Amino acid sequence: MEDYILEMKGIVRTFPGVRALNGVDLQVKTGRVHGLMGENGAGKSTLMKCLVGINPPDSGEIWLRGKKVTIPNPYTALKLGIAMIYQELNPVLERSVMENIWLGREPMMRGAAGFLVDHKAMYEQTRQLLSELEIDIDPKIKVKELSVAKMQMIEIAKAISYNADIVIMDEPTSALTPNEVKHLFDMIRKLKERNVAVIYITHKMEEIFQIADEVTVLRDGNHIITEPIEKMTIDSLISAMVGRRLTEMFPKMESKIGDVKMSVRHLEVPGLLHDISFDLRKGEILGVAGLVGAGRTELMEALFGLRQRSAGEILIDGKKTDIRTPADAIKAGIGFLTEDRRLNGIIPVLSVKINTIVANLAHYTKFGVFLNHKKIYKDCEEYKERLKIRTPSLEALIQNLSGGNQQKVLVARWLLTNPEILILDEPTRGIDVGAKAEIHTIITKLACEGKSIIMVSSEMPEILGMSDRILVVSRGQITAILDRKEADQETIMRYAAAKYNNNQVA
């Protein structure tokens, strides 16, 4: 008999109007990394929420170490040795690293009252834990002072501190640099050596083939396959996930590159950006590459009026344009799809319809007061069909849509403002391979319609596959502007790693 630490049998979970899991099975071995793959909406997160007691299953069984268990809440899951690292981090920003790790289970000292936290013991336990994991962070530093990547590392340390036998990692590398990903994989290998089972959820194909021992694929709430990773290829994995072959991951069409649409000259943001100059042409997809923290997002925010520049100018169609606020940017014909759709993109508790029109409300008002609901519905329905947004209705809450469909709603939001320039910051982050191909198709069609696109991406294949030219940023400076014909991964990484480069490549 196989040495399974976890068996989930016939798991069913329904939500109003949706059967999210349809009798799913999952078997995980001790001391192995089990990849869990599928498109957004396939049921991966729902299955894990069933396991940790956030959304207990409607029916089915969970067996742990050969015994049937009931897990009604996350506290029970932790007591049973199951810890989950969530994709959306929720640390207590004003507290220290050690207080976040031991929150709710702080070591106590024996005192007169018997309820005093032993900060000395907590510090020492945290220092030892971080040292074992080779995480170089001061236990006393406030979490708000850490980068997102280091916050992710603290969440991983917290999960390991529970001495869990099963650790679930949901998109753990979404904010990590290549070196930090390597460090994470070293940590996972150490967990395997301790006989800890890791359930690893990601949309990044290359990671699964690097770290997983087995992989399970879900599609539309159904179990499709479970196979040893050595029996899989990228093509077979994609086919299992989407139910079809994706013959072209980057469906780039050759658009007609026209005149200069936007010129940026000597732009400065104190401490962040220095002497930024480049041109963007009509019908062009200008890719922006660089390491995490290089200043790519800060540059996009400065162009959209979210950051105040101290020097430099922006010209649109040859005319100097003063962009100090997002309202100025929208008026100038610029749309901005932000990097973090959950933090500053979607409004979770509002409908798909309202999320679609919110950047263009003035266009739908009568006499500046009354909303033209007929026009709102007509336009939202048009973009729902045009972008193939999958939603039960326009009145559905956007938080109930998959990540890929949320992203399409945000694209629709900005297209409704009729922008001539569209800034896309990590447009496919955290969405599945099928939705990525659809977003790529939308982007290249917009370029063919004459829109000017700036696309920031941390994924090198996306940059190389979609861009007409590639602007490389390193430490707040442009170190190269490359034509797609001369660009390759090695060249881009060389410029991305440069501290500075006085000879800008044109």
Give the pLDDT score at 57: 94
Position with higher pLDDT, 313 vs 104: 313
* CATH code reported for the domain at 260-496: 3.40.50.300
Any residues with CB less than 8 A from the CB of 471 and at least 6 apart, and which? 278, 286, 287, 288, 289, 478, 480, 481
pLDDT (tens digit per residue) in 135-182: 889 999 999 888 777 888 888 888 888 888 999 998 888 767 777 888
Q: Strand pairing of 4-15 and 59-64?
A: antiparallel
Q: C-alpha angle 45/46/48, rounded to 5°?
A: 65
pLDDT (tens digit per residue) in 247-292: 556 777 788 899 999 999 999 999 899 999 999 999 999 999 987 7
Q: Are 152 and 175 in contact (CB under 8 A)?
A: yes
pLDDT at 500 > cutoff 60 = no
User: How many angstroms separate the CA atoms of 62 and 68, rounded?
Assistant: 6
Six-digit token string for 380: 């939202």
Confidence of residue 505 (pLDDT cuts 50, 70, 90): very low
Confidence of residue 506 (pLDDT cuts 50, 70, 90): very low
Question: For residue 47, what is the DSSP state?
Answer: H
Give the pLDDT score at 434: 72
Residue closest to 142 by CA, chosen among 100, 183, 84: 100
User: How many angstroms separate the CA atoms of 289 and 464, rounded?
Assistant: 10
Position with higher pLDDT, 127 vs 45: 127
Six-digit token string for 120: 């000395």
- Within this chain, domains 1-81+164-245 and 260-496 share the same CATH topology: yes
Lowest mean pLDDT segment, chosen from 60-74, 217-231, 259-273, 353-367:
353-367
Cβ neighbourhood burial of 279 (10 Å; 0-12, 13-18, 19+): middle
pTM here is 0.63
User: How many angstroms separate the CA atoms of 455 and 452, rounded?
Assistant: 10
Establish how many alpha carbons lie within 13 A of residue 405's alpha carbon, considering only the half-sphere containing its beta carbon: 24
Give the pLDDT score at 225: 94
pLDDT (tens digit per residue) in 409-431: 888 888 888 889 999 998 887 67
Q: Are 386 and 372 in contact (CB under 8 A)?
A: no
Segment 286-300 shows an average pLDDT of: 88
Task: Give the DSSP H/E element, type plus range, for residue 63.
Answer: strand 59-64
Domain ranges of the chain: 1-81+164-245, 91-163, 260-496
DSSP lists the bridge partners of residue 262 as: 280, 316
3-state helix/strand/coil string of 37-83: ECCCCCCHHHHHHHHCCCCCCCEEEEEECCEEECCCCHHHHHHCCEE
How many Cβ atoms are within 10 Å of 16's Cβ, its own excluded?
6
* Residue that has been written with the tokens 């359930």 in this structure: 199
Q: Which fold has domain 1-81+164-245?
A: Rossmann fold (3.40.50)
pLDDT at 504 > cutoff 50 = no
User: How many angstroms separate the CA atoms of 135 and 479, rounded?
Assistant: 31
pLDDT (tens digit per residue) in 323-342: 999 999 999 999 998 877 76
Burial letters 128-160, b for 16+ CB under 10 A, else e: ebbeebebebebeebbeebeebbbbbbbbbbbb
pLDDT at 499 > cutoff 60 = no
Could you give the 3-state DSSP secondary structure of residue 322?
coil
Q: Are 71 and 250 in contact (CB under 8 A)?
A: no
DSSP lists the bridge partners of residue 482 as: 470
Six-digit token string for 474: 């390193």
User: How many angstroms separate the CA atoms of 419 and 78, rounded?
Assistant: 49
Any residues with CB less than 8 A from the CB of 403 and at least 6 apart, and which? 40, 341, 430, 431, 432, 435
